[in-house]
């Protein structure tokens, strides 16, 4: 039987149930989910599915990530609600490719782990599955593992196995509507030009879960816990000196009360040059390099290849005496002597993130 897999939280419990009830059935997992966006989130979910299938001892096949084809299929349905018309088209697309894969492998039946997801309509899934059974000749089997307290059992298994528990279905449109309803920043879509791995970003989680795989391969015990912290995102930043834009790099947590300010350097203390407005201070790239043991040859290079966020927070603590001082600290090649205009559009907010702790 081909089992279309959407994510590890749904698939691990679902496949465990199948293995228990059908011990003689050969199961082949098929991860085909071009709806998942951004691609880093797709890689993260696939990574955890690979771990899950390895634990369960079943073969896993990755389908194509044909995101553009999926976008074409749901065009015009961008504003449909969850469980609406866009989801039906999404199921149709994924079932069609899954049915083709089942035929290619010589499998006579298929199912999907979407059936166990509380966010999905089983009626929609069954309609889509039966339609493709009629058109492709691959029997669609709808297992209802939500009943008899199945959803609670699924949550227990996910916690015991420390599975990656994503907090949105997967598609860009569902994510944007969900974040609007929650009045939350859609920070999943932030990918800075500096290539920094931002706190609580998908890239941070992907790095952590890859590290988890390495620990398991080495037999090192660990736990994944959550922590609450102050997060930060930079939307836009630029610095003009005498009307000309110059390279500049705001340190992580740099804020001003509005999105822009103007002024002149008023005084210097210990290598920090203070603007006469908004608690803004400047440091030179030479100072940055010296205090962080770096070797950037230009601020422009720093802008596109920034160090880890932790390095910038440590520097902020060294300069200001506290990591919680959110005064703007701007790195420049040389300290401006003319009037400056600073654009700094940011958001600081309370957030949670996962953290890997090694058991000693």
Question: 232-281, pLDDT tens digit by residue?
Answer: 999 999 999 998 999 999 999 999 999 999 999 999 999 999 999 899 99
Helix, strand or coil for residue 16?
helix
**Per-residue pLDDT, 52:** 97
Q: How far apart are CA 307 and CA 195, in angstroms?
A: 9
Q: How far apart are CA 281 and CA 126, in angstroms?
A: 61
pLDDT value at 82 more than 80:
yes
Structural domain of 275: 232-348
CATH of the domain at 123: 3.40.50.620
What mean pLDDT is predicted for residues 99-115?
92
Q: Are residues 150 and 49 in the same domain?
A: yes
Alpha carbon distances (Å) from 313 to 28, 60, 185, 187, 230: 46, 41, 22, 20, 12
| pLDDT exceeds 90 at position 192 | no
| The domain boundary residue, chosen from 184, 215, 249 | 184
Which residues are CB-neighbours of 249 under 8 A, at least 6 positions away? 194, 299, 302, 303, 306, 330, 331, 332
Tell me if 214 is assigned to some domain: no
On whether both 157 and 71 belong to a single domain, the answer is: yes
Q: Are 282 and 250 in contact (CB under 8 A)?
A: no
Q: Is residue 192 one of the residues assigned to a domain? A: no
**Of the residues 159, 184, 209, the one at which a domain ends:** 184
Residues 271 and 329 in one domain: yes
Domain match, 122 and 236 both:
no
Mean pLDDT computed over every residue of the chain: 94
Residue 189 lies inside a defined structural domain of this protein:
no
Question: In this prediction, what percent of the chain has a pLDDT beyond 70?
Answer: 100
Nearest to 354 by CA among 232, 229, 224: 224
Q: Are residues 180 and 290 in the same domain?
A: no
Quote the CA–CA distance of 201 and 224 in Å, as a whole number.
16
| 237 is a domain residue | yes
Which among 179, 182, 201 has a CA at the least distance from the CA of 190? 201
pLDDT at 179: 93
Those residues with Cβ within 8 angstroms of residue 87's Cβ, 6 or more apart along the chain or in another chain: 80, 120, 121, 124
Kindly write down the DSSP assignment for every residue of 26-80, as one continuous string.
--EEEE--TT--SHHHHHHHHHHHHHHHHHHT-EEEE----HHHHHHHTTT-TTP
**How far apart, in whole angstroms, are the C-alpha atoms of residue 31 and residue 323?**
42
Length of the chain: 360
Chain segment 124-139, per-residue pLDDT in tens: 888 888 887 888 888 9
The pLDDT of residue 320:
97
In a shared domain, residues 236 and 174: no
Mean pLDDT, range 99-122, rounded to an integer: 89
**Rounded CA gap, 338 and 301, in Å?**
24
Q: Are residues 38 and 171 in the same domain?
A: yes
**Which of 166, 184, 202 is the C-terminal boundary of a domain?**
184
**Inside any domain, residue 198:** no
Same domain, 41 and 115: yes
Q: In the chain, how many domains are there?
A: 2
Residue 76 lies in a domain: yes
Q: Return the SS3 of 352.
A: strand
Domain identity same for 158 and 269: no
The proportion of the chain whose per-residue pLDDT surpasses 90, expressed as a percent, equals 81
Q: Is 201 contained in some domain?
A: no
Determine the Cα–Cα distance for residues 303 and 237; give it in Å rounded to an integer.
11
Between 298 and 108, the higher pLDDT residue: 298
Average of pLDDT values for 45-69?
A: 97
- Pair 171, 251 in one domain: no
> Same domain, yes or no, for 173 and 297?
no
The verdict on 338 and 279 lying in the same domain is yes
């Amino acid at each position: 039987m081909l089992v279309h897999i959407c994510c590890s939280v749904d698939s691990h419990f679902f496949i465990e149930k199948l293995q228990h009830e059908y011990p003689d059935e050969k199961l082949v997992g098929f991860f085909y989910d071009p709806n998942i966006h951004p691609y880093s989130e797709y890689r993260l979910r696939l990574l955890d599915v690979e771990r899950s299938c390895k634990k369960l001892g079943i073969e896993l096949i990755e389908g194509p990530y044909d995101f553009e084809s999926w976008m074409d299929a749901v065009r015009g349905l961008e504003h449909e609600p969850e469980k609406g018309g866009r989801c039906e088209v999404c199921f149709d697309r994924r079932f069609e490719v899954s049915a083709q894969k089942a035929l290619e492998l010589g499998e006579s039946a298929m199912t999907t782990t979407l059936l166990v997801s509380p966010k999905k309509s089983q009626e929609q899934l069954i309609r889509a599955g039966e339609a493709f059974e009629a058109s492709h000749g691959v029997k669609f089997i709808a297992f209802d593992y939500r009943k008899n307290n199945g959803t609670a059992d699924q949550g227990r298994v996910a916690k015991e196995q420390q599975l990656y528990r994503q907090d949105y279905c997967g598609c860009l449109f569902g994510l944007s509507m969900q974040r609007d309803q929650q009045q939350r920043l859609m920070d999943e879509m932030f990918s800075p030009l500096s290539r920094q791995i931002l706190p609580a970003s998908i890239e941070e989680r992907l790095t952590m879960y890859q590290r988890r795989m390495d620990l398991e391969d080495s037999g090192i015990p660990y736990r994944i816990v959550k922590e609450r912290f102050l997060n930060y995102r930079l939307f836009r930043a630029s610095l003009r000196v005498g009307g000309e834009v110059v390279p500049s790099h705001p340190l992580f947590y740099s804020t001003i009360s509005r999105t822009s300010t103007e002024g002149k350097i008023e005084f210097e203390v210990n290598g920090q040059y203070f603007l006469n407005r908004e608690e803004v201070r400047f440091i030179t790239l030479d100072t940055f390099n010296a205090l962080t043991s770096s070797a950037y040859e230009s601020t422009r290079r720093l802008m596109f290849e920034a160090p880890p966020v932790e390095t910038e927070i440590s520097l902020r603590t060294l300069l200001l005496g506290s990591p919680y001082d959110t005064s703007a600290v701007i790195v420049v090649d040389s300290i401006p002597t003319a009037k400056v205009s600073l654009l700094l559009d940011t958001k600081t907010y309370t957030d949670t993130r996962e953290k890997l702790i090694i058991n000693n």
